Structure 1
Amino acid sequence: MKLPLYLRVLLLLTLVGCAWLFWQETPDSPTQTATPVATRPLEPAPPARPVTPTPATTVDLFPSQSWNPPPPPPPPVDTTPPKPPPLPFRVSAQWRYEHQAKIVVLSGNGNQYTLCNRCSVPGRIVPGKMLDAHYRLDKLTDSVVVLTYMPLKHASTLRLDNH
Structure 2
Amino acid sequence: MTLPFYLRGLLLLTLIGCGWLLWQDTSDDLDSAPTAVVARPTEPAAPPSPVAATASVVDLFPAQTWTPAPPPTPVDTSPPKPPPLPFTVSAQWRFENQSKIVVLHGNGNQYTLCNRCSIPGRIVPGKMLDAHYRLDKLTDTTVVLTYMPLKHASTLRLDTH
TM-score (norm 1): 0.56
Task: Identify the structure with the greater helix proportion.
Answer: 2
2-side partners of 1:118 and 1:162: how far apart? 20
Misfit runs of 4+, over 6 Å: 67-72
1:126 to 121, 124, 127: 124
Q: CA deviation at 1:150?
A: 0.4
5+ long unaligned stretches in structure 2 = 1-59
Q: Give the secondary-structure state (helix, strand or coil) at the position aligned to 1:120.
A: coil
2-side partners of 1:156 and 1:126: how far apart? 17
1-side partners of 2:64 and 2:76: how far apart? 32
For 1:68-83, what aligned pairs fall within 5 Å after superposition?
A: 75-83=73-81
Q: Give the secondary-structure state (helix, strand or coil) at the position aligned to 1:145.
A: strand
Q: CA deviation at 1:77?
A: 1.5
Q: CA RMSD in A?
A: 2.3
Q: Which deviates more from structure 2 when the two are superposed, residues 64-73 or residues 138-147?
A: 64-73
- Amino acid in structure 2 at the alignment position of 1:66: A
Q: Answer yes or no: is 1:99 the counterpart of 2:100.
A: no
- Amino acid in structure 2 at the alignment position of 1:85: P
For 1:11-50, what aligned pairs fall within 5 Å after superposition?
A: none
Q: CA deviation at 1:78?
A: 1.0
The answer for the alignment partner of 2:141 in structure 1 is 143
Contact persistence 2:140–2:160 (CA under 8 A): no
1:113 to 108, 111, 114: 111
5+ long unaligned stretches in structure 1 = 1-62
